[in-house]
Amino acid sequence: MISKGGDMRRETTLPIDRDAFSRAVWTGVKRKGYTYKEAAARAQEHLPAGLRISDVSVWSYAKGKSVPRTRVQVEALGSVLGFDPAALFSRESPESDVKALDVRTRLPTAKGDERDDDAVAGIHVNDVGGGHALVRISAVVSWDVAMKILYLVDPAAGGGAP
């Protein structure tokens, strides 16, 4: 997408008003008296494991250069900087209602396995907009299951149909 000023900007994946978001972040940072680093650190406390916001990102958002990839990042910034994220999203996309799913499941362990306390599978799903989701799975599975998952994500890498 090319803006009116002629500079190249990446297409946003969230149905968000970029200018309103930029103003909300800039105003929130100034009103709270935070540095971009402080705002990022405080927002980070509201994010699920594995999702990050850096001070450079907060600066970029405040300057209108970019927007976050996920709705949960916008919501984290909103809670820290005191703006309503819902007011920034258009209602055009049903994906805008998807926030994040974080599921942890006890894994079956072998008899005598000393790792019982660490045997937790994590499944994290975050909306990235445009009908897509970021999925992270951390689980011990059989090779058969692993190959089926790989095939679903990348049929060429999965070695053919499951």
Query: Cβ neighbours of residue 148 under 8 Å, at least 6 residues apart?
Result: 158, 162
- Residue 145's alpha-carbon distances to 46, 55, 109, 110, 158, in angstroms, are 33, 39, 17, 18, 11
Tokens of 90: 């258009």
State mean pLDDT over 114-139. 64
* pTM > 0.85: no
CA atoms of 4 and 160, how far apart (whole Å): 47
Tell me the domain boundaries of the chain: 18-88, 94-153
Return the bridge partners of 104, or none: 122
State mean pLDDT over 123-150. 76
pLDDT in tens, 132-145: 777 777 778 888 88
Residue 6 in this model has a pLDDT that exceeds 60? no
Taking domain 18-88, whether its CATH number is 1.10.260 is answered by yes
